[in-house]
Every structure is written in structure tokens, then in C-alpha cells.
Amino acid sequence: MQPIELAATQYGHRATFSAMANPCELLVETDDAALARHLGEIVAAEAWRIEQKFSRYRDDSVIAAIQHTTAGNGYEVDSETASLLNFAGSVFTISNGLFDITSGVLRKIWKFDRSTNIPTRKQAKALLPLIGWDKVEWQEPFIRLRPGMELDFGGFGKEYAVDRALQLAEAVSGTPMLVNFGGDMRANRAPTMRDSWDVGIESVSNSLPAGVVHFRAEALVSSGDSRNYLEKNGVRYPHILNPHTAWPVMGAPHAVTVLGPTCIEAGFIATLALLKGRAAESFLASQGFQHHVQR
Amino acid sequence: MRLILLIGLSLALASCSGLGVDPWERGVLAKPEMALDSEPLVSALDDHIYFSKEASSGGRSFAGGGCGCN
Amino acid sequence: MNKNIKITTALSAAASALLGVDASLAQETQAIGTWDFKMAALYYTEPDRVDAIEPAISARRQIDTDESLTLKLTLDSLTGASASGAVPSSDVQTYTRPSGSGSYTIGANETPLDDTFLDTRVALNANWERPLGRLLTMNLGANISKEYDYTSLGVNALLSRDFNKRNTTVTAGISAAFDDIDPEGGVPVAFGVMRPAEEEQPRAGSSDDKTTADFLMGVTQVIDANSLFQLNYSFSQADGYQTDPYKVLSVIDASTGSLIIEDAAIGLPRVVAENRPDERTKHGLYGQYKRNIGGDVLDLSYRFMTDDWGIDSHTVDVKYRWDLGSGYLQPHIRYYQQSAADFYRGFLLDGQTPVAGDISSFASADYRLGDFTGVTTGLEYGRKGSQPWSIAIEYYLQSGDEPDGKFGALNDQELYPDVDALMFRIIYDI
């Protein structure tokens, strides 16, 4: 268990730690340092718990267990994993198959390290038989993948962690607080010491903020290619992959920021907008969530 | 007898009416301060005081133990 | 051509299903295999009467997901004096202590208070909660309480079943208690006349006992995401010795209303030991409503009790927990009203006093069986966090009308004075 750092701020306290390869923080409006630390520990513990349980890079995660157990009925999951799999199924349907947690197997050929290593169309097509939520046998509580298939909760793992961490912290104290995991954030209520939580949105071109969002009690998720991408011959290949083609979605905005009632909803809308490529803006306009797009 | 009918009536009413929530709406109800007996130690201390000062006891739960104070 | 269907409703339902199910797990459940300790202390004081200090410690072990064991140890240390049931008089009075040796003096126009009770009580409670099925829970409890003149042993069992997506819970339970009463100086003869100290007091034996059987039935119902209520019916049957061995009634001259003096040399008035029926059946109806109002919690309850001693009571309790972020403030009001027992008397008239040993007659001047109203007002402040604590101060005022039938010299006395008490309470969760 890594330590968390606590600092007093103008409006209360700020607890910081590292999780899911991101800087994470909890802003809480309280002068009580002990309470702030306690809440920070709760939030960090939940972030690390979810990271460890659902990481596809760890041997001891539920994902590894599911991917290794393809015999018989498959793997029997617990109620939390079942809820996440049900959610994955729901968003697969809602997005007409664009949002698919089985597309994780594409990491084998797409490594978004800002290099020029673009796979061939043939390599991409070869992986298509291993992609598709409809190929998964999910009969609660048993899940069975076809050999070679992989699951990736990365599409909503961080957002889920923010929502869960905030719920757990709220069970202890109703004081205004904001949980922020690397740009995916959510507040339980409007701050009392100022009008709103002020958040800077990272610009895609330089370190100047592209804008400042003022929000009260809701979630904010930013999605985009500013960190993970490949570039060759002047064309940028973003890390949002279309599971039908095994190819990145071209023509998508560089960054999309969405405000919603929960992180998981805001995150889904943001990701889906990127998956719509050139149609991102019209999609966002039709959904009614406050948003910000950078091209 | 009337009391038994009252309980039975509320049970029948409750199960076939629109009362209740779905499991995912229980966030507030799950808070410790929303439990019907949210501070059992306080209830026990209070019950003991009132048991020794008044002629009534119990109602919410079983009285936890007799004493020679009444 | 791109047709953008609004998906936010379906998305919201999917998100609720995901986060909501886990929200119910997100209560502050104790980690399995750990002990949680809570300490409490109550200081209770009636000006000029009883003082009590009651420390308690409880330890809860989370054995498995829904299984727990709670142990509680309570100490009750009482000092001071409580009303004996005798009436005040314009003369100085002397009474014999219950032990039979020693006496105490009451000043003119003062309520007779017996200060013999320097008593300490120890009580131990255990409760084991365990699921018997997906929707069925069982609670088994035992308690033992001991003070120098009273021992009580009890067991109880409760069964709860959930219905209707766990929105409705039906509970049924039974309990049994066995009490052994071993009064200082022995069990007095009913209506036996108090003798001067050092003389032999009328005694019927050294100890007696009482058995109590209780039955409880209740329904808890969730109304909406912010509120729920509970309705309980309770039944209690007590058989055995229910008289207070230390309480007496004054015998009054039927024409003058003055005390009759039993022994003029020492100023001992005539008082007789009280006697209560050895059977008592009680019925109770209890309702509680709790509602979340924007982070605050309103707690309302009402209890009606009636028994075959003629006592009816109403209790209304209101608490409002005002959330302050890292703490809370909770004002509290309790209103209690009871009607007197059929055999409650302020005093007995000479010539109409049952003879010593008449166990089929009942009379008691214990003010706690009279007609009175008790109002409690209090305020609690608490802090949340990893080691929550709370402090509270409460004021309790008992006031009742004078008993019927006052006449003559009794009209100069207050037979039912107000009794008030101050309580301080502190709880600390380690």
C-alpha cells in the first residue's frame, strides 16, 4: 500500500496518490486533516483495489482468471464483476457494437507509443475472429471466452473507480469533495466556499489550458489522443479502435470532454463520440450532455 | 387481535402497493444513520434509564436484561 | 447518413444497475475478522436524589459477510436516595433501613428518601446474528445482570425474513428472563408494619423470584429511496415477585389526615410494606419513521403500552439529525405520559389498611406507578470519521398531579413533587 500525500489548500485539503498509471487526487472541503486523510485513504484504497482486481496486465486479476478458464462452464465471477459484465453488455447494445470490451486483443498489434509502427491491414483482419461481445458466453455468474479472446475493462475502469471511490467516501462524510483520477473526475455536491469546482481542460497543442470548466455536482471525463497515439507520414492514428475494422477511428476530434451525472456515463458518451469520428459533434449535440470538443 | 390485523394489513398493503425501491436505489438507506436503531449503545442506555423511572419498557426490541430498579 | 438516437436513458439505467447494486454494498460494513470497540459513559443525576454513573463497552466481531457477534459489558453505579413511598409531614420522621439495622431521619416537610442504595450492577449481553438463508436472518441473544440484591438471566431469539426485493422485512421473536430477588433484610410481608430498628421486621422469606416471557412481532417497510418505517407489536407476561421490597405506604389517620405514630419515642410513623400483583400482562404497539431530508435525518417514533395493572402509556420521540459535514447536531424531544396503576395510592387510611400477610390486596405509593408526564429535551453533537464520537446532554422532568383523596393535614404536603434529572452521555468508537 503506497502512502498518500496530504496538503492543506485554500478551500480545505488535497490528498494525492498514484493509481492506474495516473496522478490521482481528492479535493475535500474540510479543515479536519484527520478526516481528509481518512477520506483520501478510502479513495486511494478503492482505486488500488479496482486496479488490481480488473487489470489486464496482472496475473492475479479477475481478467487473467477469466482469460485462463475457458474449459467447462467457464469462470464463475463474483457480484461486482457480474455487474461490470452486465454493464459491458448493455453499452455494447446501446452503442450498436462500437463499444466492445473484447477489442482489447488488438493491443497485440497496436501499441500506441507515439512511434511509427502501424500494423498491416492483413494483421488487423486476422484478429477480427477474436473480437466481438456476441462471441462471449455470458450466463451469470459464468463467463466463457473463446481461446485467444481477451477482455479489457480499460474503456470504463477508471470512470467506474471514480464513481465507486466517491460513493465510499460519501458514506463517511457528506462534506463537498471532488475525486479526480487523471482527468476523470466527479464531485458529490457543489462546493460551499465558492460557486463551483473549477477545472482546467488540457489543450492538445501546448500546455496552456484549452478552457476552464465550472461544474457543481456532477462528473467530468476527458477522452482523446493527446497522450496515446501513433503518427506516420503526418497522419495521426488515435488509440480509439473500431472493433468492426480493428482499425483506429479516423477523423475523430483530438479531445472530447463530457459532463454527466456519473463518471461512467460521461466517460461512455465521450468514448462513443470519439468512435463516431467525424460525426462526434453531431452525436454529442444529440445527447444533451454538456460537452467540449477540440479538433 | 386488532393489533395482529393491523400488522397483517400493513404487510399486505406494503407488498402489493408501489412502496419500495430497486436494489440500486438503496444508497441513502444504506447509510448507518438511516438504520432504524442507528446507535444501539445509546438506545440501551436510554432504555435502562426509562425502565427504572417509568412503568413501561420495550416496544422497539426486547428489553436487554432485568434489574432491581423497578 | 447518421441517425443519432438519444441513448442517455438506456445509459442511465445501465449505470444505475452497475453503481446502485454496489451502493448497497458501500455501507460502512466492518471488515471480516476484525473487532470494533465502542465505549460509552453515562452520568445521570437527580438533584438531591440519585446519582448514577454507567460506563459501558461493546465489542463487535464481524465473523463473516452477514454474521456478527456483539458483546457488551455495562457497569451501573448508583448512589443517593430515592423516594420510599411514605408521605412527608410537618414533623421530623425516623424510618428503619431495609436491612433492619440502623435508621434514617427525614426533616419536616421533606419527601422521605431512603438513601440505603449504594449499589453497583454489572450486566453482560451477547448477541449473535447469522443468516439462515438468502432472505432469512437469525439473532440469538443472552444476558446476565447482577447486583447485590438482584440477579437476572435472559435469553432471546429473533427471526427475520425479507420480501419484496428486501423492501419488506417481517420479524418475530421470543424472549425469556428469570430473575432472582434477594433483598437486603429479606422479603417483607405484604403490608407488614415497619418496626423500629434492631427489632425483628416482618419478613416472609429471604428471597423470591420472577419469570418473564416476551413475544415480539414486527414489519419494517421501505417507503422510498429516502424513508422507511417500522411497526411492532409486543406482548409480555411476568409471573412472580414484582413488588418493590423497599417501598412502603404511610398509614394516615382517617379523620385528621396526619400520620399515625407507631413508636413515639423514636418518631417512627406507621408505614406498611407495599404489595403488587404477582402477575402482569402487557401489550405494546410501536411505530417508527425515518426520513432522509437532504443529508439530515428525521427520526419519529410512537409507542403505546397497556397492561392489566391499569397502566396505559404513550411515548412520542422526535430526533432531528442535522448534518454539518464532518459532524452533526441532533436535538431530541421525548414526551411520555402514563396513567396510574389501579392499585396506586398516595397513602392508606387507618382502618382501611389490609392486614399484614394479605397477599390478595394490592397497594403501592411508588411514584413511578402514578399518573405523570415525563418530558426529555436534549442535544447531541457528534463527529464522523475513522474514530467517531458523540456527546449529549439531556434534561428529564417528571411531573404529575397530586394523588386523589388528600385531606386534612395532607393538604399541607406535596405528595407528588416534580422529579427532574440531568444526563450527560459520551460515546467513542475506537
Q: Give the model confidence (pLDDT) of C345-404 as tens digits.
A: 999 999 999 999 999 999 999 999 999 999 999 999 999 877 899 999 999 999 998 988
- Whether A167 sits inside 8 A of B30 (CB atoms) is no
**How much is the pLDDT for C357?**
93
Residue C24: pLDDT band with limits 50, 70, 90? very low
Asked if A222 and A255 count as a contact pair (C-beta separation under 8 A), the reply is yes
- Determine which of A73-82, C12-21, C73-82, C324-333 has the lowest per-residue pLDDT on average: C12-21
Cell numbers linked to C53: 454513573
- Whether B55 sits inside 8 A of C288 (CB atoms) is no
Q: Residue range C6-26: average pLDDT?
A: 70
- Whether A265 sits inside 8 A of C21 (CB atoms) is no
C224 contacts in chain B (CB < 8 Å)? 19, 21
- Whether C15 sits inside 8 A of A262 (CB atoms) is yes
Q: Name the average pLDDT for chain C.
A: 91
Residue type, C429: D
The answer to whether C23 faces chain A, any CB pair under 8 Å, is yes
Q: At residue A90, what are phi and psi to the nearest 5 degrees? A: -60, -45
Looking at the partner chain, which of C2, C7, C385 has a beta carbon nearest the beta carbon of A38?
C385
Whether this prediction's pTM lies above 0.80 is answered by no
Residues 4-63 of B with CB under 8 A from A: 27, 30-32
- Whether C311 sits inside 8 A of B10 (CB atoms) is no
Cell numbers linked to C312: 396505559
User: Which of C135, C222, C247, C339 to mutate to probe the B interface, most B CBs <10 Å?
Assistant: C222
- Determine which of A205-214, C68-77, C148-157, C322-331 has the lowest per-residue pLDDT on average: A205-214
- Of residues C253 and A171, more confidently modeled: C253
**How much is the pLDDT for C23?**
38
Looking at the partner chain, which of C42, C170, C315 has a beta carbon nearest the beta carbon of B45?
C42
Residue C253 pLDDT exceeds 90: yes
Residue B16: pLDDT band with limits 50, 70, 90? low
Q: Which residues contact A51 (CB under 8 A, 6 or more apart)?
A: A19, A20, A157, A161
User: Which of B22, B24, B31 to mutate to probe the A interface, most A CBs <10 Å?
Assistant: B31
Give the three-class secondary structure for A256.
strand
CA–CA separation, A41 and B40 (whole Å): 28
**How much is the pLDDT for B65?**
55
- Whether A94 sits inside 8 A of C385 (CB atoms) is no
Residues 19-48 of B with CB under 8 A from C: 19-34, 36, 39-42, 44-45, 48
The answer to whether B12 faces chain C, any CB pair under 8 Å, is no
Residue B5: pLDDT band with limits 50, 70, 90? low
DSSP for C319-353, written as a single string: EEEEE-SSEEEEEEEEEEEEPPPTTB-S-EETTSS
**How much is the pLDDT for A55?**
85
**How much is the pLDDT for B64?**
55
Neighbours of chain C (3+ CB pairs under 8 A): A, B
Neighbours of chain A (3+ CB pairs under 8 A): B, C
Beta bridge partners of C335: C316, C375
The answer to whether A167 faces chain B, any CB pair under 8 Å, is yes
Give the containing element (helix H, strand E) for A248.
Answer: strand A247-248
**How much is the pLDDT for C100?**
83
Asked if A51 and A19 count as a contact pair (C-beta separation under 8 A), the reply is yes
Segments of chain A scoring below 70 in pLDDT: 1, 199-211, 226-228
C21 contacts in chain A (CB < 8 Å)? 79, 83
